[in-house]
Structure 1
Amino acid sequence: MSAGWGSELTELIPLALVVALSPLSIIPAVLILHTERPRPTGLAYLAGWIVGLAGLTAIFIAISGALGGMGGKPPSWASWLRIVIGAALLAFGAFRWLTRNSKPHQIPGTRHITTAGPAKALLIGALLTVVNPKVLFICAAAGLAIGTSGVQGPGTWLAEALYVLIAASTVALPILAYAISGDRLDPTLAKVKTWMEDHNAALVAAILIVIGLLVLYKGIHGL
């Protein structure tokens, strides 16, 4: 159990940090605080984001279990799937780097975010985890890591909770801080948004390439 947890955390924490540190995660969380009712709308968006991450990861854990990945020695298909996911992350990263000076990437749903109310924000938060292929690939990798780690029972869901907690942390931080401090955070949030928009492509490319290499190595090492 202890060895399984050690190996799992080594893979899960970097994956969660990819989602957490991505500008495509943080910028919408800042934009949602510029709505007419920022506190309830922001909290609703955060709930949707957490539900989306947890739901996606749980689906891939279940798929892993259905394919024979739960418990025991990780199957060989898990290594090959890691290789595919790692290669896909590298391809995304290389594409973002090569196109970093072109037209800025449009975050899905951005035009709807600043006009959203709480109900719409809840839906947008959940949908952004699904329509963003980077988040989808990372949740697939996380679900695979959990489902093939050998950790079973409550440990499986504890591992998922840890992944979601870290992955959602940078969305939760500005929203919860605003819920406490309110308008005093507006200048700081505006600066963060501008900086991340300016460096969006390079940041996403660097993060995807680093984690792609880690996932690819894990897959090759498991063969």
Structure 2
Amino acid sequence: MGSVIGAILPLAIGIAISPIPIIAAILMLLSPKARGTNIGFLLGWIVGILVAVTIFTLVSSVLPDGGSDESKPIHGIIQIVLGAGLLFLALRQWRSRPEPGTDPALPKWMSAIDTMNAGKGFGLGFLLAAVNPKNLLLGASAGVTIGSAGLPVGSIAVVIGVFTVIAAASVAIPVIAYLVFPKQMSAPLESLRVWLVHNNATVMAVLLLVIGFVLIGKGIASF
């Protein structure tokens, strides 16, 4: 089980340091309906991560291994495809970097955050976690790794739980910190938001590039 946790750790961190969900959470914290909206967003984010990794774990666990204990060609092909998808997203992120001195364009839905309630916050969190292409690929990669490891059900549940906690931490920490210390956290969160807005594309491009090559390497090693 420890080796599987080690293998999925970079994937969980990849989801955790996604700037867009953190920016969305910070904007919600600074909105008129901060408390309810952010709790809904956090719950949606956690459920989305959990659902995505669980589905791909179940699918991967029923795939044939390829006839030997060492070779798992089907899982290898899946990992190579997922890794290639991450490399493609890394290229898109790199090319979307803003020109020096210009403000990067943010998703249009962010302008509606001030009017969101807890239900809409939950839906947004779920979509960003489970449907967003980057997070979906990372969740799928984690699911393939977990499902192909041959762990008992109890160990699979523990590994999925660890993955979800780590992946959700970057949204959970600022939300909980703001709810406990709202006055003290306003200025640091705003500074973090500004930094993330201007460095979103670069951070994600480097991250996806590294994880993409790691997955391709694991896929090749499965043959």
Please confirm whether the aligned pair reaches a TM-score higher than 0.5, indicating the same fold: yes
Which stretch shifts more, 105-114 or 176-185? Answer: 105-114
**Match in the other structure for 2:157:** 157
Identity of aligned residues (%): 33
SS of 2:150 mapped into structure 1: coil
**For residues 105 and 132 of structure 1, what CA distance do their matches in structure 2 show?**
18
Q: Structure 2 vs 1, CA of residues 19 and 105 (structure 1 numbering), >3 Å: closer, same or farther?
A: farther
**For residues 89 and 193 of structure 1, what CA distance do their matches in structure 2 show?**
25
RMSD, aligned CA:
1.8
How big is each residue's C-alpha offset from its partner over 1:159-218, in whole Å with a ceiling of 9 and x where there is no partner? 101001000000001000011001321111111000000111101101100111111111
**For residues 150 and 66 of structure 1, what CA distance do their matches in structure 2 show?**
10
Residue 76 of structure 1: which of 73, 77, 82 is its match? 73
Number of corresponding residues: 217
**For residues 192 and 17 of structure 2, what CA distance do their matches in structure 1 show?**
13
**For residues 10 and 37 of structure 2, what CA distance do their matches in structure 1 show?**
29
Partners of 1:15 and 1:211 within 8 A in 2: yes
**Match in the other structure for 2:49:** 53
Partners of 1:44 and 1:118 within 8 A in 2: yes
Q: TM-score, normalised by structure 2?
A: 0.90
Q: Structure 2 vs 1, CA of residues 105 and 54 (structure 1 numbering), >3 Å: closer, same or farther?
A: farther
* 1:92 is aligned to 2:71: no
Partners of 2:48 and 2:129 within 8 A in 1: yes
Shift of 1:112: 2.8
How big is each residue's C-alpha offset from its partner over 1:4-27, in whole Å with a ceiling of 9 and x where there is no partner? x23312221000000111112311
Q: Which runs of 5+ in 2 are unaligned?
A: none
**Match in the other structure for 2:11:** 15
Partners of 1:109 and 1:128 within 8 A in 2: no
SS of 1:204 mapped into structure 2: helix
Partners of 1:32 and 1:113 within 8 A in 2: yes
Query: Where do 1:108-187 residues align within 5 Å?
Result: 109-187=109-187
Q: Which runs of 5+ in 1 are unaligned?
A: none
Amino acid at match of 2:122: L
Shift of 1:108: 7.0
Amino acid at match of 1:60: F
SS of 2:216 mapped into structure 1: helix
**Match in the other structure for 2:203:** 203
Q: Structure 2 vs 1, CA of residues 147 and 108 (structure 1 numbering), >3 Å: closer, same or farther?
A: farther
Q: Structure 2 vs 1, CA of residues 43 and 156 (structure 1 numbering), >3 Å: closer, same or farther?
A: same
**For residues 114 and 221 of structure 2, what CA distance do their matches in structure 1 show?**
45
Partners of 1:97 and 1:205 within 8 A in 2: yes
